[in-house]
């Protein structure tokens, strides 16, 4: 049997921090270092599969413990976000030098070259940010380098796209006035803006007000899977025109033509989305954005240890080593460098 090549993979989106706090509250730090049933990311599996880092999301769960659709209060979101920042710091401190929180592309490259995992702090849904942005610099100082202004619920900055299938992503109003100011502030500070939970009007609002590459960290192709969470052809073209990137989302509900939450999805379905994005945008604008530990992936890649199966599928589909390296790592480095600066 041919040994699978291990390609370093920088991932556009995962939810491991929330999973550790929610499911392993007694010992969330130690739970990151060894495999657990149903957990997609742990250090051992990541090292085995070539997962070298990514944007580690800080998503705020329901304040009432029930309704994901209800927007949490700013105070609750702020405190929960700080808990996740502290958790990642504690993981790094306990890792014996194997995990290093990164704030720049050079940090990421240095960490990877030295065999370390390179997580970057990302806020998914900006409820922790005050509408007047008075605490944004404080979060930047903590290491925040990427923000999704909204998750799939409305907040002070935007109206998130609801989860619907089949449906268009054109579901309502886009950015608020505070949201426009958030985009401008992030551009000035060098914080990436993630469009993946934006509805279509919000997407175009960001495109109009941002002078940085458009980034959809974990989204797929609407023409192949007609969920509101996927991108239309016009959106994909706009990402290309901005020199941006789209990260392939492994969530089966955003891959399957029928939109079902069935993990029996062949890797050829992932390749179909990659092929479409490459045809539409070119090889330089496609990355990976797994949504690990936030959504169910195909069984064949349901842990980071299995990621070589995906890169092998890309190779079998005709992508050469240079193209796979771009999809797995270099395209993210270019998009983030263009956003953050040197």
Domains and CATH numbers, the chain: 9-340 (3.20.20.140)
Q: Are 122 and 146 in contact (CB under 8 A)?
A: yes
**Distance, C-alpha 105 to centroid of its chain:** 16
Q: Are 193 and 186 in contact (CB under 8 A)?
A: yes
Give the torsion through C-alpha atoms of 275, 281, 283, 284, to 10 deg.
-150
Assess whether pLDDT exceeds 50 at residue 180: yes
pLDDT tens across 86-121, in order? 999 999 999 999 999 999 999 999 999 999 999 999
The arithmetic mean of pLDDT across residues 264-290, rounded, is 98
Number of other residues whose CB lies within 10 A of the CB of residue 197: 26
d(CA 74, CA 61): 12
Q: Percentage of the chain with pLDDT > 90?
A: 96
Q: What pLDDT does 342 receive?
A: 65
Q: What pLDDT does 330 receive?
A: 98
**152: number of CA atoms within 13 Å, CB side?**
14
User: Of 61-75, 170-184, 206-220, 263-277, which range is least confident?
Assistant: 61-75
DSSP letters spanning 282-341: -GGGEEE---BTTSPPPGGGSSGGGHHHHHHHHHHTT--HHHHHIIIIIHHHHHHHHHH-
Q: What pLDDT does 262 receive?
A: 98
Verify cis geometry, omega within 30 degrees of 0, for the bond prior to 81: no
pLDDT band at 176 (very low <50, low <70, confident <90, very high): very high
pLDDT tens across 302-324, in order? 999 999 999 999 999 999 999 99
Q: Percentage of the chain with pLDDT > 70?
A: 99
The arithmetic mean of pLDDT across residues 158-167, rounded, is 96
d(CA 147, CA 129): 10
d(CA 42, CA 181): 37
Residue whose C-alpha is closest to residue 185's, from 164, 160, 157? 157
Q: What pLDDT does 4 receive?
A: 67
Q: What pLDDT does 3 receive?
A: 53
């Amino acid at each position: 049997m041919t040994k699978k090549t291990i390609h370093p993979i920088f991932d556009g989106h995962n939810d491991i921090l929330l999973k550790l706090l929610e499911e392993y509250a007694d010992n969330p730090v130690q739970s990151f270092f060894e495999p657990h049933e149903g957990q997609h990311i742990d250090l051992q599996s990541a090292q085995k599969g070539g997962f070298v880092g990514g944007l580690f999301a800080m998503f705020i769960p329901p304040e009432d413990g029930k309704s994901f659709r209800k927007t949490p209060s700013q105070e609750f979101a702020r405190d929960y976000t700080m808990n996740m920042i502290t958790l990642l710091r504690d993981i790094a401190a306990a890792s014996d030098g194997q995990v290093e929180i990164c704030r720049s592309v050079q940090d990421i490259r240095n960490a990877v070259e030295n065999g370390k995992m390179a997580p970057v702090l990302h806020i998914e849904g900006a409820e922790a940010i005050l509408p007047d942005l008075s605490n944004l610099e404080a979060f930047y100082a903590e290491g925040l380098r990427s923000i999704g202004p909204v998750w799939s619920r409305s907040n002070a900055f935007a109206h998130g796209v609801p989860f619907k299938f089949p449906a268009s992503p054109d579901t309502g109003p886009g950015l608020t006035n505070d949201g426009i100011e958030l985009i401008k502030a992030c551009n000035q500070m060098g914080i990436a803006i993630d469009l993946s939970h934006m509805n279509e009007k919000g997407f175009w609002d960001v495109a109009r007000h941002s002078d940085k590459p458009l980034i959809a960290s974990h989204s797929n192709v609407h023409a192949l899977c007609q969920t509101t969470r996927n991108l239309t052809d016009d959106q994909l073209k706009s990402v290309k025109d901005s020199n941006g990137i789209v990260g392939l989302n492994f969530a089966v509900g955003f891959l399957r033509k029928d939109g079902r939450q069935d993990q029996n999805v062949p890797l050829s379905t992932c390749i179909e989305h990659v092929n479409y994005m490459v045809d539409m945008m070119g090889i330089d604008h496609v990355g990976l954005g797994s949504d690990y530990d936030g959504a169910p992936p195909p069984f064949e890649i349901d842990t980071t240890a299995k990621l070589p199966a995906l890169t092998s599928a890309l190779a079998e589909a005709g992508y050469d080593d240079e193209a796979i390296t771009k999809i797995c790592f270099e395209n993210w480095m270019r998009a983030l460098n263009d956003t953050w600066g040197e």
